[in-house]
Amino acid sequence: MTHLVVVGASLAGLRAVEAARRIGHEGPVTLVGAEEHLPYDRPPLSKAYLDRSAEPPESVIFRTEEHLRGELGVELRLGSPATRLDTASRTIRLGDGATLPYDALVIATGGAPRTLPGSEGLAGVHTLRTLDDALAVREALDAGARTVVVGGGFIGSEVASAARKRDLPATILEALPVPLVRSVGEATGHACARLHDAHGTDLRCGVTVESLESADGRVTGVRLAGGTTVPADLVVVGIGVTPCTGWLRGSGVPLHERDGGVVTDATLKALDGVYAAGDVVHFPNPLFDGELMRLEHWTTAAEQGALAAKNALDPGNATELATVPYFWSDLYESRIQFVGVPRGDEIRAVSEELGEDRFLALYRRGDRVVGVIGIDRQRQIMKFRRLIQQRASWAEALEFAGVPQPTQARR
Ligand SMILES: Cc1cc2nc3c(=O)[nH]c(=O)nc-3n(C[C@H](O)[C@H](O)[C@H](O)COP(=O)(O)OP(=O)(O)OC[C@H]3O[C@@H](n4cnc5c(N)ncnc54)[C@H](O)[C@@H]3O)c2cc1C
């Protein structure tokens, strides 16, 4: 009986154990998690969960313990991280000293937030990745904190949005001249900046954070290069994540030279018997000419978790993951959605051409549409996802977006 071990008890790990049972795997399944919590959903942590009227912590738990242990027959090893992988003997060492043998392994350990130097142990400074982080941030908002977010990415922007919804002052400090420019390009970055502006968030771009100021072990402000200090009771640091792969060092599992994420092939295989899924993995996406991608998107983590388990249990029939990345973010009353990849030869903000106030931008690579971002364009966005999946041409995408094409104009 093949023993499937999944390390990382969050979205990708959960989908892996669920898929194993769904495809009829009857052997033992073990789910190992560093956190004490049952697998839970992260997107609400920076959105509804920060509202004053938020649901209790259990509301984000995906499945009950009875379901996981009873119905799915999963052995749960929560609160004890994997500390070492030995691929020769096919064993995993756990934090509690136990050694766990496996036949097939899925690595789904996600990422850990980067921190600011000098922030350790300082009250009022948080990252936002876990349920415990979200509880702490919510408590600070409940106390009426002046909020400063370091980093203008989506999670930080959502925190600022949550503070403004409560009418609390919120400032975002971003090093680049436009927020989100690296992840979605300049036009979209400007559109998000306008959203912040319209809702009273003080977005400061092109600034360098020099240090955190504190009194009696509690943060009081953020000092910028040039000498300005932004007063703060709550500082949320949103400057990206690092894949959790320290436990894989020396195991032979290929790790990416830049960030240490697990590198797999398109079937999510890292080594014989070892697969990876979710935020931790770089995989070559066949839909984009094998471009190596590490995505931090909910939908991809779910897809990858299921596929990694299926392929790990039946490697002879392994299939590749050819997927159009998708993510969403909620800022104020708006929903931002992105499909595809943001790197192209051209980015066209077509809503401006069409004179519409809701934002839509298309990303071209060669003759093909490779990405689309929309703000409050929920009806269109999944249709664009299908177009990208079908490798639609740039002209087809523009036509679908409503931009008149030369042949149409002549008619
Ligand atoms: C606040 C927040 C908001 C988000 N909002 C959105 C959104 O709006 N839209 C969207 O598309 N995506 C969003 N995401 C991203 C999405 O939640 C992630 O892509 C998804 O959680 C990735 O799942 P994962 O299982 O790969 O990794 P993770 O969710 O990071 O889980 C990895 C798990 O592995 C555990 N672990 C780490 N090391 C070890 C070890 N050595 N041994 C055992 N366990 C270990 C960790 O404790 C963790 O529980 C958001 C993420 C966050 C944090």
pLDDT 10s digits, 106-155: 999 999 999 999 899 999 999 999 999 999 999 999 999 999 999 999 99
Give the Å distance between the CA of 311 and the centre of ligand 1. 21
pLDDT 10s digits, 172-200: 999 999 999 888 888 889 999 999 999 99
Give 80's pLDDT tier (boundaries 50, 70, 90).
very high
CB 31 near ligand 1, within 6 Å: no
CATH of domain 4-112+241-317: 3.50.50.60
Pocket test for ligand 1, best of 30, 244, 375 (most atoms within 8 A of CB): 244
CB 81 near ligand 1, within 6 Å: yes
Looking at domain 333-410, its CATH superfamily turns out to be FAD/NAD-linked reductase, C-terminal dimerisation domain (3.30.390.30)
Give the Å distance between the CA of 359 and the centre of ligand 1. 28
pLDDT at 103 over 50: yes
> Is pLDDT larger for residue 407 or for residue 410?
407
Q: Where are the domains of the chain?
A: 4-112+241-317, 115-237, 333-410
pLDDT at 408: 54
Pocket test for ligand 1, best of 80, 114, 138, 279 (most atoms within 8 A of CB): 279
Give the residue, by CA position, lying nearest to ligand 1 atom 5: 43
pLDDT at 410 over 80: no
Across residues 372-384, what is the average pLDDT? 94
Average pLDDT over the chain reads 95
Closest to 29 measured CA to CA, from 94, 103, 113: 103
CB 244 near ligand 1, within 6 Å: yes
Pocket test for ligand 1, best of 5, 6, 11 (most atoms within 8 A of CB): 11
What proportion of the chain, given as a percentage, has pLDDT over 70? 99
Residue range 115-237 in CATH 3.30.565.10 = no
Give the residue, by CA position, lying nearest to ligand 1 atom 29: 10
Same fold, 4-112+241-317 and 333-410: no
Give the Å distance between the CA of 9 and the centre of ligand 1. 9
pLDDT at 409 over 80: no
Give the Å distance between the CA of 128 and the centre of ligand 1. 11
CB 303 near ligand 1, within 6 Å: no
pLDDT at 411 over 50: no
